[in-house]
Amino acid sequence: MSSSKTQIYYGWLIVAVATLALVVSNGLSIGGIPVFYKSIREDFVASGAVAANQAESFIAFGASLTFFFSGVISPVAGWLLQKFSLKKLMLAGCVMLGSGLIIHALANSAPAVYAARIMMGISLGFVGVLPSVVLVSNWFPDRRGTALGILLTGTSVGGVVIPPLATPLIGLYGWRTAMILVSLIVWLVLAPALLLLVKDRPDELIGSAESSDEKSSAGIPFSRAVRTPLFWILALAAALIFYPIFVTSQQLILQTAKIGFTPWQGSLVLSALFAVSVLGKFLFGYLSDRFQPTHVVLVCTAMMFGSTLLLINLNATTALLFLVPFGLGYGGAFVLIQRLVADLFGDRDYPKILGTITICETLGAVFGGTATGWLADRHGGDYTVGFYGVIVATGSALALMIALNFVGTLRRDRVDSP
């Protein structure tokens, strides 16, 4: 803690830097990159690198690779986070992300694009949500919901900031040059901030003699956690929640173009979705410090389900009606999943357990994105049929969150037992 009442706790600076990491990493690899998709698709179809009847699947598969490899690397990253410096691993993630963007910008074939998207996905395991959540959790054993709520707004802020930044650059210089220009944010802003400001734990700052291992020993081991029904309820719910999150953040903009929105209007819809989710992450993260977190996540999931019903008749009016409740709900659910892992299983193997949950989220996202793109290709680029899968996924997630509220009796008194 701070040494005086007037001194700002250094943990809040850690929150700020970790939030910046999410703004940049998620914004450039997931949240903001869909504004490039139309130009990429047209370029690769025109050059003959991709067949016109496979264009939607090409885009969806590339995006799915990023999600898939960010999840596959998560258990490895979780293990490394308990062995090595968070700062060094996050800097390594910056190098992979920046390099992946440059390779993507120079790519002239589908395999080259896929290789770049794989690099971007792997980078998220080291400078994305998992390391950022672990870093902030190290500094906030208390008020964790509020701190994580602020942190995870970064994944949405990236989606708010990058589209209006990249869209005019694409118009002026083409998508390739625009992608290289936005990659400079990684090299000139994020990497220096991590290098100069990040400290893994409070004891690095204040010279505490308390053992880090002792502070993080509360909880149950990974091997026991994965044998509990509670783990699998949460994991499956997380997968089903990330199915619609991925589809709406990556493919909704393509459907807006199909129904007549201009590129600028489509980018505004995408930015608005992320902007509303920022409020949801902060609001529901804050509320989870004051109410039972399992109850809060149930409300979030119910909001998501109700709003997805509007996707089956998407137009200018229903798009606006969809954005607010879905954005609020998905923002809150995103925060609560990260928090519930610690609340239900403790800090002992938090990186490993969260990394495994992340795989489940990734599989849900990859399946959702791939299935939705495949269905769109078979309906002339129309995503409406694919959106029925989004409705089923959110409805199933809601049912699982109801079950979580009944089954979630594994509280800290039982978690801390050997």
What is the structure's pLDDT at 212? 47
Look at the block and give the residue holding tokens 């809040």: 12
Q: Can you tell me whether residue 284 is helix, strand or coil?
A: helix
Residue 2 resides in a domain: no
String of DSSP letters for 381-408: T--HHHHHHHHHHHHHHHHHHHHHHHH-
pLDDT at site 250: 73
Q: Which of 213, 195, 209, 220 lies closest to 138, judged by CA?
A: 213
Q: For 346, phi and psi rounded to 5 degrees?
A: 85, 180
Coil, strand or helix at 219:
strand
Q: How far is the C-alpha of 370 from the C-alpha of 246, rounded, in Å?
A: 10
**Choice between 360 and 384, residue whose per-residue pLDDT is larger:** 360
What's the number of CA atoms in the CB half-sphere (13 Å) around residue 248? 37
Residue where the block lists tokens 């109700």: 306
Task: Please tell me the predicted confidence (pLDDT) of residue 408.
Answer: 65
Query: By the 8 A CB rule, do 121 and 29 touch?
Result: yes
Q: What is the pLDDT of residues 227-236, one digit of tens each?
A: 988 999 999 9
**Does any domain span residue 59?**
yes
Residues ≥6 apart with Cβ < 8 Å to 143: 289
**% of the chain at pLDDT higher than 70:** 93
User: Per-residue pLDDT tens for 89-117?
Assistant: 999 999 999 999 999 999 999 999 999 99
**What distance in Å separates the CA atoms of residue 164 and residue 253, rounded to the nearest whole number?**
14
- Flag whether pLDDT at 1 surpasses 50: no
Q: What is the pLDDT of residues 259-309, one digit of tens each?
A: 777 777 777 887 788 788 889 988 998 898 889 999 999 999 999 999 999
Q: Which residue has the higher pLDDT, 212 or 338?
A: 338
Residue located via tokens 């009796």: 409
Query: What is the DSSP secondary-structure string of 334-399?
Result: HHHHHHHHHHHHBSTTHHHHHHHHHHHHHHHHHHHHHHHHHHHHTTTT--HHHHHHHHHHHHHHHH
Task: Read off the pLDDT of residues 324-375 as tens digits, 9 standing for 90 and up.
Answer: 999 999 999 988 998 898 888 888 888 888 888 988 888 898 888 888 888 8
Does some domain include residue 127? yes
pLDDT confidence bin for 164, thresholds 50/70/90: confident
| 293, 336 Cβ separation under 8 angstroms | yes
Decide: 230 and 410 in contact? Cβ < 8 Å. Answer: yes
Averaged pLDDT of the chain: 86
Q: Would you state the pLDDT for residue 4? A: 44
pLDDT of 296-321, one tens digit each?
A: 999 999 999 999 998 888 787 888 88
* Mean pLDDT across 411-418: 45
pLDDT at 217: 57
Distance in angstroms between the alpha carbons of the first and the last residue of the chain: 29
Residue pair 263/257 in contact (Cβ under 8 Å)? The answer is yes
- Give the model's pLDDT for residue 363: 86
Determine the pLDDT at residue 216.
52
Q: Which pTM was predicted?
A: 0.75
Closest CA to 102 of 119, 90, 126: 119
Q: Which residue has the higher pLDDT, 322 or 179?
A: 179
What's the CATH number where 129 sits?
Answer: 1.20.1250.20
What average pLDDT does range 202-216 have in this prediction? Answer: 57
Burial (CB count within 10 angstroms: exposed 0-12, middle 13-18, buried 19+), residue 8: exposed
* 259 domain-assigned: yes
**In the chain, how many domains are there?**
1
**pLDDT above 80 (res 170):** yes
Residue 67 lies in a domain: yes
Least Cα distance to 340 among 400, 396, 418, 392 occurs for 400
**How distant, in Å, are the alpha carbons of 71, 174, 369 from that of 64?**
11, 24, 6
Q: Which SS3 state, helix, strand or coil, does residue 115 take?
A: helix
Please check whether residue 57 lies inside any domain of the structure.
yes
Least confident of 20-34, 92-106, 169-183: 20-34
Residue 400 lies in a domain: yes
- Alpha-carbon span 253 to 23, nearest angstrom: 20
Domain span holding position 114:
10-204+211-415
Tell me the per-residue pLDDT of 114-155, one tens digit each, with 9 for 90 and over: 999 999 999 999 999 999 999 998 898 778 888 998 998 887
In angstroms, the CA 40 to CA 51 distance is 13
> How many whole angstroms separate alpha carbon 151 and alpha carbon 35?
24
- Of 345 and 177, which is predicted with more confidence? 177
Check residue 166 and give its pLDDT.
Answer: 92
Identity of the amino acid at 200: D
- On the question of pLDDT at 381 being above 80, the answer is no
Asked if residue 4 belongs to a domain, the reply is no
Give the residue among 52, 21, 228 at the shortest CA–CA distance from 125.
21
Higher pLDDT, 246 or 309: 309
Half-sphere exposure in the Cβ direction for 272 (13 Å, CA): 16
